[in-house]
Structure 1
Amino acid sequence: MEIRLVGNSALLIEVDDPLAWFTALDAERAAGRLAVTDIVPGVRTVLLDGVPAPESLAASLRSRPAPPFVRFYQDNLAIPVVFDGPDLAAVADMTGSSVEALVRTLTETTLTVAFGGFAPGFAYLSGLPWTVPRRESPRPRVPAGSVALAAEFAGIYPTASPGGWQIVGHTGTVLFDIDRDPPALLTPGRTVQLVRA
């Protein structure tokens, strides 16, 4: 573990399992045992913001063993997907499988929201059994609801935007709604099951 002070009241923790640290620290915050404003997981980091005594907390964290990952939710969130993406066949080739086998793997794999991404409501879903390269040339516009793969992650575009991920399907599920609490449907720690629509 490496811990860096960020500004006057934040800590950036580099750890092997950011989601496990996020779930443990967020549970402490919810129980009133950790006074921080925000906890943000990343690929290899967890940011603690609004820390009243950062040096003291850093010393405490250094003395702790790595926590186990604890699921927030007892059920998987089912997201219906039509597997008709323009990159579906190419991704099947990349993974050495047929289109049917690829779809079966995607629907049988439980994915976990590892962290949020480049747009409100976008979540990086971990748990894929293979990695998929990004497209050589990004698309100028990826439609909202596009289900896509890149590196070791799956993701669903909450709004139309440029993007370089491999599109394998689409969903009508609303991922971000400012009138919902929380606005993002996919929050860190949530488990997701893609199902055929």
Structure 2
Amino acid sequence: MGNTNTQFTEAELEDYQELTYFTKKEILHVFKRFHLLDPDAVRLDKNVRLPLSKILELQELKVNPFKDRICQVFSSSGDGDLTFEDFLDMMSVFSDNAPKTVKAEYAFRIYDFNEDDFIDSADLREVVNRLTGDQQLTDEDMQQLIDNIFEEADLDDDDSLSFAEFEHVISKAPDFINSFRFRL
């Protein structure tokens, strides 16, 4: 692969360090992981936009039921294809160093499937279906679960969760941080 250090100027590394939760060494490690997804394309152009199919080869995404939404949310083009900077943003948010508030903001965007800035019953249905996989709930059980979620979290009784309501629920979930991370 050659020396990854030569891929970036010192100024670029400093900019990336300011814009992420990574050290320069960690940024170079993230670039190495990006490079390994498509060595030929990245060697030709470090700013290449890798297709979603390549990004999904990343070990952390392979088994994640939200892998397509994660890539969509971090994709600057919105289609799931990622540039290195998109990839770096994603890895930074999923790093141990990202604050819980940042993780909550991105989790909200990932779960907001219809992208209307609220998590409504259709979004919750999609989240639950993805989490349960082959063990789908009956319509009755699904509705009961959604009703229970809204009973607990929908503080203004509008049958949807705003970001503030979502963040409030997340604050009560001590394991949220551990489930919303990738290891470098």
Q: What TM-score results when the alignment is normalised by the length of structure 2?
A: 0.24
Q: What TM-score results when the alignment is normalised by the length of structure 1?
A: 0.23
Higher relative contact order (CA 8 A, sep 6+): 1
